[in-house]
Amino acid sequence: MIALNKPLRGPDETDVVAEATTKKLGHTILFSHEVRSTNQWAKHLAKLGAAEGTITVADTQKRGRGRLGREWVSPEGGLWFSVILRPRLSAQEATKLVFVAGLTVAEVLKEQYDLPVETKWPNDTLVLGRKICGVLCEASTSGGHVDFVVIGFGLNANFLVRDDLPVNLQNTSTSLQDELGKRVNVEKLFHCLIGKLGDLYSLFLSKGFLPILEGWKKHAGFIGQRIVVTDSDQKTAGLALDVDAEGMLLLKTEDGLIHRVSVGDASFK
């Protein structure tokens, strides 16, 4: 559980941790032991007008959601949280926030635990080929501009994959406890992630996408590898050449064509 400083009792079973700080993100942290989905909760609050930087956190999610409509299994011990952002960006620019989030996770896991992290297009963080964290960005837009974005982080922290994830995920997933052989201080990790996200978000807003993309690519082990991209039922195999300045994957198929892929799930061939 995230340790709470100055918990206030909210209108329901929620602890509200409201700290007036100079930090842009995390001025309001809402915690609940169990929710359906912290993203769903954050989106609900954002629709009611919650400010940028509001965060929802839970020990466990009953209906955690992954990308492409998948379920996200969220046992206790994981770090499941969502951040509300209100960038003044076009809907197209805001899609790049997934890289801000991915770089946040990669840098924090490297700095805190010296793990051999890799970013995998578009939203995964891997350790030695196994997924340790996924990010789900959901935006509400009107007239081509962003009203809010919710970025949800699902980080497998203090549990063992063999004990707490279903069999079908065990070969492709890992956790911090599996990698480090011990449990981590999840409160400290949470605050590191929020601090880093705030820094990289500011960098993105002030300097644009390129410094983010450069940082993200430094961890991108899949570039130069043969991969398969799955979108709905369609699978496309090819060589991952690069990620371009719009965040699109450049995939060279066997016929020599180079495809700019905007959506999908990449796996190694």
Count CA within 13 A, CB hemisphere, residue 208: 4
173 or 177: CB nearest ligand BTN: 173
Contact 2, 190 (CB under 8 A): yes
* Of the residues 32, 61, 119, 177, which one makes contact with ligand BTN according to CB under 6 A: 61
Instruction: Measure the CA–CA gap between 219 and 117, rounded to whole angstroms.
Output: 7
The label of the residue with tokens 């090819």 reads 238
Please report how close the Cβ of residue 252 comes to ligand BTN at its closest, in angstroms: 25
Q: Can residue 149 be called a binding residue for ligand BTN (CB under 6 A)?
A: no
Pairing state of beta strands 258-261 and 265-268? Answer: unpaired
User: Which CB, 65 or 219, lies closer to ligand BTN?
Assistant: 65
Smallest gap, in angstroms, from Cβ of residue 42 to ligand BTN?
8
- What is the closest distance, in whole angstroms, from the C-beta atom of residue 144 to ligand BTN in the complex? 25
Q: What is d(CA 217, CA 106) in angstroms, rounded to the nearest whole number?
A: 11
Residue 39 sits in the site that holds ligand BTN (CB under 6 A) = yes
Cβ-based nearer residue to ligand BTN, 83 or 206: 83
Confirm or reject binding of residue 54 to ligand BTN (CB under 6 A).
Answer: no
Residue 64 binding ligand BTN, by CB under 6 A: yes
CA dist., res. 22 & res. 111, Å (int): 24
| C-alpha distances out from residue 219 to 64, 117, 176, Å | 27, 7, 18
Phi, psi of 192 (to 5 degrees): -65, -45
Q: Contact with ligand BTN (CB under 6 A): which of 135, 165, 197, 266?
A: 135
- For residue 83, which amino acid is it? V
Using the rule CB under 6 A, is 82 a contact of ligand BTN?
Answer: yes
Between 62 and 207, whose beta carbon lies closer to ligand BTN? 62
Q: Which residues bind ligand BTN (CB under 6 A)?
A: 37-39, 61, 64-67, 70, 72, 74, 80-82, 123-124, 134-136, 152-154
